[in-house]
Chain A
Amino acid sequence: MIRVVTLDPFDDKQLAKFNRTLYTAFGVGSEHSGSVEVPAGMSEPLDAEKLVDELKGIRSYKDDKVLLLTTRKLKDRELPSGVAPTAGFARQGKDRAILTIAPHKDLESAFKAVSRHALHQLGHLWELHHCLDPRCSMYPPWTPSFAQGEAIFCTFCREKSEQKIRLAKS
C-alpha cells in the first residue's frame, strides 16, 4: 500500500488523481493518509534526510510505503562528487520518501512532472536504481529531459518493481 501523507494543504481532487496515477504505475493501492506537521525548528529549505528520519505520527503497516508531499523547497545535498539537486529523497529499500512540488505552486500545474518524480522516489523504496533509459521514471531526475517525460517505467524497472512488490506481499 502506498500512503501519501501531506505536510502542507493540497486539493483533494488533485490528490485523488495523483493516487490513481500511483496505483496505475505500481498496481498497489494508494491513498491519502492524512497530514502531519513539520517538526519545529526546521525551516525552508528543508533537510530531506533529517525530515524523513525524524518525522513522527505517521501510521503505516509493514510493507507500506509512505510518500511525504510538501510544497516547501528541499535543501540540495552536498555529496563527495558535487551538489545533488534535491526535489525528492528516498532511502533505498526503506519505507519513507519525501517529494516537493517546488518550484510549482500547486499539484495541478505540474502534475506530470510531480507524478514522474513520485514514481522515481517510490521506485527507490522498492530498491530500484537509476536507469539508463531517458523515458523511464528511474532516469536521474536532475537531467533536463526528466520533467518532460511520462510517469512510466521501462520494461526492466517495471518488472523489477513488480517482483519486489510480489515478494513483499508474500
Chain B
Amino acid sequence: MPEGSASLQLAVGDRVVYPNQGVCRVSAIDVKEVAGQKLTFVTMRREEDGAVVMVPEGKVLAIGVRKVASAEDVEAIFAFLRSDSDKADLDWKQRARTNLDRMTQGGIMGLAEVVKGLQVLSELRPLPTKERELYDNARHLLVTEVAAALGTAEVNAEDAIDIVLFPPGRERPKRTAAEFQREEGDLDLDSDLLGLDSDLDLPSDEEPSEPSEEEEASEEGESEEAASSEEGAPKKRGRPPKAKTEATEGAEPAAPKKRGRPPKPKPEATAEGAEPPAPKKRGRPPKPKPPEVEGAAPAAPKKRGRPPKVKPPEGES
C-alpha cells in the first residue's frame, strides 16, 4: 500500500493520482444506490483528457489512489535519478514483475525506479518493444505528476527530469553485462537467458579441436594425476565430460564415432567362382516377348495409322 494512503481523506477539488492512469481531480463525492445498497462513490476526472472514473469510497485505498506528490518528494526523485547506484535486473521475468508492482503501488518513487531502471538497461542494449512502451508510460506518468507537484508545464517537468538523467554536455555511458551481475546468490539464470555467457556445449570456432582417442588414451594417466593435483582448482562449469571407456592394453583403439546415418549392411560374400549378381536396372521392366513359332514368317512390323480400305473384287460388276 502506498505511503500515506491510510489517512487518505478526499474532498471535491483534490488532485489525486490514480495508479497507471495519471493525475485526476475529484469532481464529486456522492451516494448512489446500487443493487439495493447505498454506496458512497468518489468521481474522479483525469486531467489529461477528461475521462471520468467512479470508485466506491471503500475501494479507494485498495486501488492505490493517492494524493499528488509534494515538492519534497520531487526533490527526493531528482536525488534518486541523479544517483548512479541503480543497477538493472537482467532477469526479464523478475524485472517485469517488479516493474508492474512499482507502477501500481510504488507511488512516484516507483515510477522513478521504473524509468531509471529501464534507462540504465537501455545503456546495455536496446529495450524490447514491451519494455519500451512501459518506459514511455512510466515516463509520461512521472512527468505529469512532477508537473502537477511543481505547478509547471509538462515540458518543463520533463526537461527537469532529463537534465538529471542526461546531463548536458555528457554522453550516456556504455554499460557491460558484467556491471549488472549480482554479487550474492547468483543463480546464473540471467546470463544464460541472455546468451551472454553461454555454457552450452556447442562447438565454437575458437575452441581447439578435440584430441584424438589415441592421444586421450596416452594422456589419460597424466590427466588423472593432474586431476588429483588440481582438486583445489575451481570446478569447470557446464555439462561434465562423458566417461571415457578404458583402453585395454594391446587392443586397437576404437575408431572415432562417425555422425549421420549408419551405412547399409553389405550382402554377404558369395561363394568363390560364382558370378556376382548383375546390377539391378532401374525403370520399367521390359514387356515379355511372345513365344516364337518355328517355321513361321516373322511378323511384319505393325504399321501405324488408319488401316487401308478393303478394295472390291474386280470384274464382278
Q: Which residues of B contact A (CB under 8 A)?
A: 74-75, 78, 118-119, 122, 126-127, 129, 132-133, 135-136, 139-140, 143, 150, 152-156, 158-164, 166, 168-172
Instruction: Check if A144 sits within 8 Å of B164, measured CB to CB.
Output: no
Instruction: Check if A79 sits within 8 Å of B132, measured CB to CB.
Output: no
Chain A residue contacts of B171, Cβ below 8 A: 134, 143-145
Instruction: Identify which of residues 96-153 in chain A touch chain B, using a CB-to-CB cut-off of 8 Å.
Output: 124, 129-130, 132-134, 140, 142-145
Given A49-B153, A140-B166, A156-B129, 5 additional A-B pairs, CB 8 A: A90-B155, A91-B153, A92-B158, A129-B136, A132-B118
Interface segment out of the listed A27-35, A65-73, A80-88: A80-88
Contact partner of A80 (CB less than 8 A), chosen from B74, B119, B140, is B74
The count of A-to-B residue pairs whose CB atoms sit within 8 angstroms is 78
Given the complex of chains A and B, what is the CA–CA distance between A80 and B185 in angstroms? Answer: 40
Contact partner of B160 (CB less than 8 A), chosen from A84, A91, A142, is A84
Q: Is A18 an interface residue (CB 8 A)?
A: no
In angstroms, how far is the closest chain B Cβ from the Cβ of A102?
A: 17
Q: Is A26 an interface residue (CB 8 A)?
A: no
Given the complex of chains A and B, what is the CA–CA distance between A133 and B126 in angstroms? Answer: 8
Instruction: Check if A142 sits within 8 Å of B169, measured CB to CB.
Output: yes
In angstroms, how far is the closest chain A Cβ from the Cβ of B22?
A: 13
Tell me whether A85 and B168 are in contact in the complex, defined as CB-CB below 8 angstroms, given that A80-B74, A91-B154, A156-B136 are known contacts: yes
Instruction: Check if B158 sits within 8 Å of A129, measured CB to CB.
Output: yes
Tell me whether A77 and B156 are in contact in the complex, defined as CB-CB below 8 angstroms, given that A129-B139, A129-B140, A156-B136 are known contacts: yes
Chain A residue contacts of B139, Cβ below 8 A: 129-130
Chain B residue contacts of A81, Cβ below 8 A: 78, 160-161, 163-164
Given the complex of chains A and B, what is the CA–CA distance between A79 and B143 in angstroms? Answer: 14
Q: Could you list some 25 contacts between A and B, CB below 8 A?
A: A77-B156, A79-B160, A79-B163, A80-B75, A81-B160, A82-B160, A82-B168, A84-B160, A89-B155, A91-B153, A91-B154, A92-B153, A92-B158, A129-B158, A130-B139, A130-B162, A132-B122, A133-B126, A134-B171, A142-B166, A143-B166, A143-B168, A143-B171, A144-B169, A160-B136
Chain A residue contacts of B160, Cβ below 8 A: 79-82, 84
